[in-house]
Structure 1
Amino acid sequence: MPPPLPALLRETYDPATQISPAQIEAVASIVRARAPGARFLVFGLGRDSPMWQRLNADGETLFVEDKPAYVEAARQAMPQARIVVADYAATTVLGSFAMSPAALDAIAMPEELRGSWDVVLIDGPAGYWPGDPGRLVPLAWTSRLMARHTHVFVDDYNRVLERHFADLLIRFDNPPCAELAHEREAGKTMLWRIGRSLPP
């Protein structure tokens, strides 16, 4: 059983993590609320990965990453972590807006992702520049995987691609949502699609 959440976050938090402390608290609180045995899907490996792994030690955490160097570093730092290598090269940030639904559906989702997830965090691929791989594929896969009870967090929701496709694929059924501000970077936000366990 992991230690109490405040202690765990203090022990594992890396100040260089790009997600803000308040946003981390929100994601971590939801993961722990689904414990024990939470199923937590994380798109993107980074400085926060050991924290997510430790946070959900009594559950199942699966990381999805496209950069081989990040995968290698994570496997050295977290030998026990489950990591799926994805190829997002076909969907650049700029090209995503012209991609047809048929072309998107033709990108096979890894079998390891199938099933019901309690929490999904979309924080990769990086998607900084027009020619970078974008987050259309993780958003599309999440839209197929999420259930009514699934909490979905989309980092960098302030960016054009993330907002456009999150609104289209994650918010299509008018779910309860919140935007979590980044307290260190003005204008940077994270979308939280709030999962619902209680009856309507």
Structure 2
Amino acid sequence: MRNRSFFPEKPRFVFIALGVLIAGALLISSFIRVADNSLLCSLTGAKADYSPAPIQLRAILHYATSRIVPQQSLGEISVSFDVLQSVSPCNFLVFGLGHDSLMWSSFNPRGTTLFLEEDPKWVQTVLKDAPTLRAHTVHYRTKLSEADDLLSAYRSEPECLPSKAFLRGNTRCKLALTDLPGEVYDTEWDLIMIDAPRGYFPEAPGRMGAIYSAAVMARARKRRGVTHVFLHDVDRKVEKVFAEEFLCRKYLVKAVGRLWHFEIPPAANVSTTSGGAGFC
């Protein structure tokens, strides 16, 4: 989720200006409820008593005065935005904290949005400019260089298998995120976005544990409906392979750019013929 510049200065400035205009329109209009829920009707059929939430106004001010743009493209952002528009207020868990975090929180202004970040110094840097964000520092037990071994070995550990999988305190399954804040385990998340931890050099934690843990949380859901899981950087081998193993191609509903969107039903609602040996 940490921002990287992809544009030379002048085109980048034009992109920022357009982005600010679009973001402002989206933030102001996104949560005005109308009959057909379309963006056009949101703009033309606004309720007289509607007022933006403080987090939305803060986001508009922040991005209007910043030269740093979100890492995801407008098309990728729109995938998650469309879902948030239909289900917010909701519980939204985001792996990664960055320059786009204020935007994500503003899309769910009256819901719960929680960010998980590996680097405590980076958390301090982001919260200095956006102190209202809710973020926790987490520790990952894996390295990207271990990805192949983790994928081939997890089936031999019963407590990694979907029939017995759990997260809190599951030290026997190395893919499980075992020591997250209690709030993460105690909340049923309607949306989970995986855009961290770092996964582009061998010693980085990689996103194997985040992908596996998102699958376990989604399958354990007891509330009505599916869990929406968004995975970024699927152009990379590990993200793609682990998504196909744990999030499942059959649950993939949309792919835009480097983002995949899955709708994962609770395990109780799914019949399986795999004998509990696989997630898909």
Flag whether TM exceeds 0.5 (same fold).
yes
Going by fraction, where is strand more abundant, 1 or 2? 1
> What are the ranges of 5 or more consecutive residues in structure 1 without an aligned counterpart?
182-188
Please list the CA deviations of residues 123-182 of structure 1 after superposition, one character each: whole Å capped at 9, or x if unmatched: 00121112211001111110111145111100001111101111111117x22422212x
Q: CA deviation at 1:58?
A: 0.7
Number of aligned residues: 187
- Judge conservation of contact 1:153–1:190 (CA < 8 Å) in 2: yes
1:113 matched residue in structure 2? 184
Higher helix share: 2
CA shift at 1:47, angstroms? 1.0
d(CA) in 2 for partners of 1:47 and 1:106? 27
**Separation of aligned partners in 2, 1:54 and 1:85:** 21
- Counterpart of 2:174 (choices 87, 96, 104) is 104
**Bigger Rg, which one:** 2
Tell me if the contact between 1:178 and 1:194 (Cα under 8 Å) persists in the aligned partners: no
RMSD between aligned alpha carbons?
2.7
1:193 to 218, 243, 262: 262
Alignment of 1:34-183 (within 5 A): 34-35=87-88, 37-88=89-140, 90-99=141-150, 100-101=153-154, 102-104=172-174, 107-110=177-180, 111-114=182-185, 115-146=187-218, 147=221, 149-171=226-248, 174-181=250-257
TM-score by length of 2: 0.60
Cα offset, 1:94, TM superposition: 1.3
TM-score of the two chains, using structure 1 as the length reference: 0.82
Deviation at residue 44 of structure 1 after TM alignment: 0.4
Indicate yes or no: 2:98 matched with 1:21. Answer: no
In structure 2, the gaps of 5 or more residues are: 1-26, 31-38, 44-55, 155-171, 271-280
Question: Alignment identity in percent?
Answer: 27
Q: Tell me the distance in 1 between the aligned counterparts of 2:128 and 2:236.
A: 32
User: Cα distance, 1:117 vs. partner?
Assistant: 1.1
Q: Taking CA–CA contacts closer than 8 Å with sequence separation of 6 or more, which of the two structures ends up with the larger relative contact order?
A: 1
Residue pair 1:109, 1:141 contacting (<8 A) in 2 also = no
